[in-house]
Each structure stands twice: as C-alpha cells, then as structure tokens.
Amino acid sequence: MLQLEVRDGDIAQVEADAIANAANDRLWMGAGVAGALKRAGGEEIEQEAMAIGGIPLGTAVSTTAGRLRARWVIHGAVMGEDLRTDADLVQRTTRACLELADELGARSLALPAFGTGVGGFPLPRCASIMVEEARIYPARTLERVIFAVYGSEAYEAFSSALSSPLSDGS
C-alpha cells in the first residue's frame, strides 16, 4: 500500500524521484505548476517535452528534471488547449502518472492538484478523485505519493480527502 501525504508549498521544491506536471496535451509549459517547474528546473524541461509533441488527454510522458530535486518530470495531460478539465481527465491523468512513475522505477512521486488552477476544477472534488486513485493503485516500485499542493484551501481539501474512508464505489 502506498504511503500518502499532503504538503503545502512549491511543488518545484519537493524532493522526490518524480514530480508530476499538470500539463496540457501540447506539453508547452505556461503558468501554474508548469511555470514553477520550468522556472526552478530550467527551460530544458519544456524543450524536452515539446520535442515529444502532443499526447492524448489523460495520458502522461516523462522528461528529465533539469535542476529540480527529482530524476524525472512526468507530464500528465489533464487539459487540452482550452485549458479546461473534468473529473474523468483528473482520474485518468492521475492513474497515468502513477503508472508511469512505476514504469520508471520511481519510489516517490509528487502530484499537484490537477486542473484546479487555470483548469478551474473544484479543489474538493479533485482531492477526492486523486486520493482515491492513489489509494486503489496497485504499486510495484512506487512507495510514496506526496500531494504537493499550494495554499491553505488546497491543503485542507487534500487533508480532508486523506482522512476520509475509502469510497465503496457507489
């Protein structure tokens, strides 16, 4: 079973094997999480991502992490070019990031609150979806997931989701 925790602060400062980026399907890195990762890790992260080209919504790809305290950045396509998202994309992107972290051999993964910034997705619903997905994920190498969120509202939403019992799926 994965160890799950929540931290309030800059995801670019988290030390983890992999750090997830709340990406768009074209992989250009603008503001929010992507901007923070690019500023702290260097332009090479975006250049490497852009060289991959577009990816389908709900999927993820990895790049190196530049100057970040991580080995990889996992770019999860939670938004299209319209920068909007929904519950299905949050769930699928969370799963894709967990799976890719496992495939890479990562033991720890930092995840942002997918789609809650420019994507406009509600924080409590995002937290519920992401925490549930991490709880049911059958990890292989992955041992720890850090929900690296920004601000007291996000911290409270994820803390509440972590303290809630697992849904029965109904």
**32 part of a folded domain:** yes
Terminal-residue alpha carbon distance, the chain: 22
**61 part of a folded domain:** yes
Give the span between the Cα atoms of 83 and 63, in whole angstroms.
Answer: 21
Provide the Cα torsion 160, 161, 165, 169; round to 10°: 150
Mean predicted confidence (pLDDT) in 110-124: 94
> What total number of domains does the chain contain?
1
Two tokens, residue 146? 């850090």
Domain limits for position 98: 3-163
Mean predicted confidence (pLDDT) in 125-148: 97
Mean predicted confidence (pLDDT) in 64-82: 95
Give the span between the Cα atoms of 78 and 58, in whole angstroms.
Answer: 6
**Residue 170 confidence (pLDDT) above 50:** no
**What are phi and psi for residue 107, nearest 5 degrees?**
-100, -20
**Residue 169 confidence (pLDDT) above 80:** no
**Residue 163 confidence (pLDDT) above 90:** yes
1-54, pLDDT tens digit by residue? 799 999 999 999 999 999 999 999 999 998 889 999 999 999 999 999 999 989
**Residue 118 confidence (pLDDT) above 80:** yes
Give the span between the Cα atoms of 94 and 9, in whole angstroms.
Answer: 20
The Cα-based distances of 81 to 63, 74, 93, 104, 107 in angstroms read 20, 18, 16, 27, 31
91-113, pLDDT tens digit by residue? 999 999 999 999 999 999 999 99
**168 part of a folded domain:** no
**82 part of a folded domain:** yes
Mean predicted confidence (pLDDT) in 57-66: 98
**41 part of a folded domain:** yes
SS (H, E, C) 16-83: CCEEEEEEECCCCCCCHHHHHHHHHHCHHHHHHHHHHCCCCCCCEEEEECCCCCCCEEEEEEEECCCC
**How does 67-102 read in b/e, with b if 16+ C-beta sit within 10 Å?**
ebebebbbbbbbbeeebebeeebbbbbbbbbbbbbb
**76 part of a folded domain:** yes
The pairing of strands 18-24 and 108-111 is parallel
CATH number at residue 148: 3.40.220.10
Average pLDDT, the chain: 94
**170 part of a folded domain:** no
**169 part of a folded domain:** no
